[in-house]
Structure formats: structure tokens, C-alpha cells
Amino acid sequence: MGLTLSWLSVIILIPLAGLFLKSFELSPEQFWAILASRRTLNALRVSFGLAFAAACVNLVMGSIIVWALVRYRFPGRRLFDAIVDVPFALPTAVAGVALTALFAEKGWLGAPLAALGIKVAFTPVGIFVAMIFIGIPFVVRTVQPVLQDLDPEIEEAAGSLGASRWQTIIRVILPSLAPALLTGLALAFARAVGEYGSVIFIAGNLPNVSEIAPLLIVIRLSEFRYADATAIAVVMLVVSFLIIFAVNRLQRWAQSRIPAR
């Protein structure tokens, strides 16, 4: 108990407290001025907006992947199951370089897309793609165990009670998975907001267009504008904290209804 608390304090709480203290060096007016500047707002908008969009895409595609992995037996299933973890394991910079090469105008995917007039690398679309890439395992790995636990018999039960396939999905399967789906969504979102390594390679990093908040923090630091950096960091911290808090509440809500068996 004592050890846990001390360790958590040293590793997590003290650095966070330091961050807040640093931001108090600014007066409230200065603080708001930094946040309200066009460049900061755009960076935050790019980070949170694209992260949320990417998390939503991951929610849908992740659910489909999970369904296939759990419910079907096909050749190479275990291989695909392992591939899901690649974005977890890959150093993010490697992922960034790989994605950039792939989507650059001469890349395997970039060239055909460029022919269609779609530019991915060095635009916000590139950030979006990178965020999807790094977020997918969060949805898959959160939902997978819950779906495995879900007895196929309940679908048969719903069917024999007269429910159509669609009613079975909407009324039985999705509500049973909902807590896990929401948790997966939140985790994928949190990860995408904080993502730095893989994004900066593909983003192009144009201020106000494709500049993410973590990059702006790094830029401010390199300009020795520490207070500015901390102010942005505090906003990101608060949002992240709210997300984690929401995830916790969701899990507790889910457990109160469906205790672990």
C-alpha cells in the first residue's frame, strides 16, 4: 500500500503537479492569451478533432475485425490476430516513416491516390491515417475478450424468441458489448491525442493546418517559451484526465451490471 502510493507519487503525481505549478507562473490573462492564439487553437483542434474522428473509425473497423477474429475460423486467423498488435509494438517513429513512404506522392498507395487527386502525406488526412493506425489495437484488444465471453447461445435465444438478425444485433449484442466498445473508443482517442512520433513524419507540420498540439509544445520548448508549452500541456492533461475518468466510470458502470464470472 505504502509502496504503491509512493511509487505512483514519484512516477505520476509529482511530474503532473510540477506541470501545473509551472503553468501558475503565468497570470490568468497570459494563460488565456496563449490558449486563445490562433496557432494554439488550431493545433488543439487538429489534435482533438482528428483523434476523435480516427477513434470513431477505429470503433467501427475494430468491431468488424474483432467479430471476424472471434466468430470465424479461417486460415491465417492467428496471424491476423498477432498483426493487430503491430501498432502497439512498433516504435512510433518507424510507423511514421513507413506510413510516409507508403502515402508519399511516389509511394505504393500515395501514387494511385495522387492520380485520383487525393493527397494524404503532408496533409491533415495523413495525420488521420496515422492516428487510425496507432489506435486500432486499443479497440480490438478491449472488445475481444468481452465478445469471446459472449455466449453464441444468446443469439439463438433471441432468434427463437422472434427477433430478426438486426434486432438481435441492436438489442442484444451491441448492448452487451457497449461498455467495452466505449472503453476501446476512449483509449484509442486518448492514444491518438497524445501521439507524436508517427504523426510528425506524415503531417507536414504546417502551422494552423497540419500541426498537432504535442508538436507545438516541442516547438515552444525549443524556443525556450516554457510557460507557453506548459499551458498547452495543461489543457491536454486536463482533457486526458477527463477521458480516463470517463473510462473508469464506464467500467464501473459495466461491472455493476455484469459482474465478472
Partner 1 sequence: MTIEVRNLIKKFGSFAALDGVDLKVDNGELLALLGPSGSGKTTLLRIIAGLDWPDSGDVSFNGEDALAQGARERHVGFVFQHYALFRHMTVFENVAFGLRVQPRAVRKDEATIRARVKELLDLVQLDWLADRYPSQLSGGQRQRIALARALAIEPRILLLDEPFGALDAKVRKELRRWLRSLHHEINVTSIFVTHDQEEALEVANRVVVMDKGRIEQIGSPDDVYESPASAFVHGFIGESIELPVQVDGGVVRLGDRQLPLAADGLVPGASKLFVRRHDMLVGPPGSGAFEGAVQHVRNFGPVQRAEVALSGGETIEIDAPRDRELRAGDTIGLEPRRYRIFAG
In the chain, DSSP finds a helix count (H) and a strand count (E) of 15, 0
Residues in Cβ contact with 260 at an 8 Å cutoff, skipping those fewer than 6 apart: none
Residue type, 177: L
Residues in Cβ contact with 4 at an 8 Å cutoff, skipping those fewer than 6 apart: none
Say which residue the cell 502510493 belongs to: 5
Q: Is 153 left (phi over 0), alpha (psi -120 to 50) or beta?
A: alpha
Our finding on whether 181 is near partner 1 (CB under 8 A) is no
Is residue 66 within 8 Å of 171, Cβ to Cβ?
Answer: no
Candidate segments 36-44, 93-101, 106-114, 169-177, binder of partner 1 by CB under 8 A:
169-177
What's the min distance (Å) between Cβ of 178 and partner 1? Answer: 8
Nearer to partner 1, 38 or 261 (CB): 261
Nearer to partner 1, 54 or 143 (CB): 143
Is residue 35 within 8 Å of 232, Cβ to Cβ?
Answer: yes
**144-152 long-range Cβ contacts below 8 angstroms, 24+ apart:** 144/66, 144/69, 144/70, 145/180, 146/176, 146/177, 146/179, 146/180, 147/66, 147/67, 147/70, 147/71, 147/177, 147/180, 148/70, 149/261, 150/176, 150/177, 152/71
Nearer to partner 1, 163 or 218 (CB): 163
Site string for partner 1, 76-95 (x = CB under 8 A): --------------------
Among 163, 169, 227, 246, binds partner 1 (CB under 8 A): 163
Residue type, 156: E
Nearer to partner 1, 57 or 185 (CB): 185
Name the strand (E) or helix (H) holding 115. Answer: helix 110-115
Among 6, 37, 167, 248, binds partner 1 (CB under 8 A): 167
Site string for partner 1, 116-155 (x = CB under 8 A): -----------------------------------x-xx-
Our finding on whether 73 is near partner 1 (CB under 8 A) is no
C-alpha cell read off for 193: 491525442
Among 156, 207, 209, 248, binds partner 1 (CB under 8 A): 156
Our finding on whether 259 is near partner 1 (CB under 8 A) is yes
- Cα torsion angle, 71, 77, 79, 83, sign: negative
Among 23, 176, 183, 230, binds partner 1 (CB under 8 A): 176
Among 30, 113, 159, 237, binds partner 1 (CB under 8 A): 159
What's the min distance (Å) between Cβ of 250 and partner 1? Answer: 14
If you count them, how many residues does the chain have?
Answer: 261
What's the min distance (Å) between Cβ of 167 and partner 1? Answer: 5
Site string for partner 1, 7-46 (x = CB under 8 A): ----------------------------------------
Binding region for partner 1 (CB under 8 A): 151, 153-154, 156-164, 167, 171-172, 175-176, 178, 257-259, 261
